[in-house]
């Protein structure tokens, strides 16, 4: 089929809470029939739930043979741009998928060419199968039933207090004596497939670092602001004061300091959204 009608979007600051896609001009997507994104570790996940379903049962039935041929399975995932587009009201089926990278947001992150190429081949086949047709689907967020922090019962320190002071992502629960996820408190951690220094948190759906503390890296980013006032104005726009970070998304190093900024941004965004 003709491929010169495919649209590609590249969004800014996804790691900071889908800043670019949240402000996307949705009129640009009015003639899009479906939307795919490759932003998932590994080589086998095809995401149909990011705090709400992303595509229909009919869409699932049509694409499943191709997914199975490439060894992919439909599962849930974490925040990324297609989920934000669905929330924006794109009105069609969207999906995120594994594209061959491993140990994300760490110094050990790598991309396996064969896995990335398999993802590309799969998308190519999906486009052949789906064609130039519109697969309508209205996203319904499940955030209304989600525990978003201290205003609905979570430990306040998780959202505002000592977040960012730990130097690894697995901590010891003082009450139970069990290792737990620093972010969600899950104690049912699983073995990670990327090395002994990581554990897998099934609630966060992510690998988390549990090895020896790493030296802090310089978090300053590429020059994208005219001056400090411009930079501070940008930081304050999502509720962060008195930091010297520039564009965190251009050089996200996985440090606790960077994750503190991401968490503050998301907390501010969703607390205002749910009022």
- Predicted confidence (pLDDT) per residue in 143-188, tens digit: 544 443 333 333 333 333 333 334 467 888 778 888 888 767 788 8
Q: Which fold has domain 14-130?
A: Aminopeptidase (3.40.630)
Q: Is the pLDDT of residue 194 over 60?
A: yes
pTM above 0.75, yes or no: no
Confidence of residue 226 (pLDDT cuts 50, 70, 90): low
Q: What is the CA radius of gyration of the chain?
A: 20
Residues 6+ apart with CB under 8 A from 208: 169, 170, 181, 182, 183, 189, 198, 199, 200, 201
More confidently predicted of 171 and 63: 63
Q: Is the pLDDT of residue 47 over 90?
A: yes
* Residue 233 scores a pLDDT above 90: no
How do residues 91-148 score in pLDDT, each as one tens digit? Answer: 999 999 999 998 877 777 889 999 999 999 999 999 999 999 999 999 987 654 444 3
The two structure tokens encoding residue 61: 């039935």
Domain ranges of the chain: 14-130, 150-269
- What pLDDT, on a 0 to 100 scale, did the predictor assign at position 260? 64
Joined together, the tokens standing for residue 228 give: 């400090």
DSSP string, 130-148: H-S---B------GGGS--
Residue 168: the pLDDT is: 65
Report the pLDDT value the prediction gives residue 14, as an integer from 0 to 100. 84
Q: What is the pLDDT of residue 108?
A: 77
Confidence at residue 202, expressed as pLDDT on a 0 to 100 scale: 82
Considering the chain, what percentage of its residues have pLDDT values greater than 70? 65
Can you read off the two tokens belonging to residue 241? Answer: 């004061």
Kindly tell me the number of DSSP H helices and DSSP E strands found in the chain.
Answer: 7, 10
Please provide residue 50's backbone torsions phi and psi, each rounded to the nearest 5 degrees. Answer: -125, 85
């Amino acid at each position: 089929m003709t491929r010169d009608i495919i649209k590609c979007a590249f969004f800014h600051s996804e790691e900071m809470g889908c800043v670019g896609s949240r402000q996307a001009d949705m009129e640009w997507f009015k003639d899009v029939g479906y939307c795919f994104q490759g932003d998932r570790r590994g080589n086998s996940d095809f995401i149909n739930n990011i705090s709400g379903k992303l595509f229909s049962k009919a869409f699932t039935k049509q694409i499943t043979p191709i997914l199975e041929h490439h060894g992919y399975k439909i599962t849930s995932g974490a925040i990324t741009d297609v989920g934000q587009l669905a929330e924006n009201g794109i009105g069609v089926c969207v999906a995120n998928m594994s594209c061959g990278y491993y140990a994300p947001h760490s110094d050990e992150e790598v991309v396996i060419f064969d896995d990335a190429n398999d993802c590309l081949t799969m998308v190519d086949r999906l486009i052949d199968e789906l064609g130039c047709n519109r697969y309508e689907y209205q996203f319904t967020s499940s955030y209304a039933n989600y525990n978003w922090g201290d205003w609905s019962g979570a430990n306040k320190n998780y959202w505002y207090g000592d977040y960012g002071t730990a130097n690894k992502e697995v901590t010891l629960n003082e009450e139970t004596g069990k290792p737990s996820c620093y972010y969600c408190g899950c104690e049912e951690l699983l073995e990670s497939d990327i090395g002994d220094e990581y554990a897998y948190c099934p609630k966060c759906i992510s690998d988390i670092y549990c090895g020896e503390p790493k030296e802090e890296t310089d978090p300053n980013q590429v020059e994208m602001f005219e001056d400090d006032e411009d930079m501070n104005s940008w930081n304050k726009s999502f509720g962060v004061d008195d930091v010297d970070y520039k564009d965190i998304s251009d050089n996200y190093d996985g440090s606790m300091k960077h994750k503190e900024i991401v968490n503050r941004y998301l907390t501010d965004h969703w607390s205002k959204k749910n009022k």
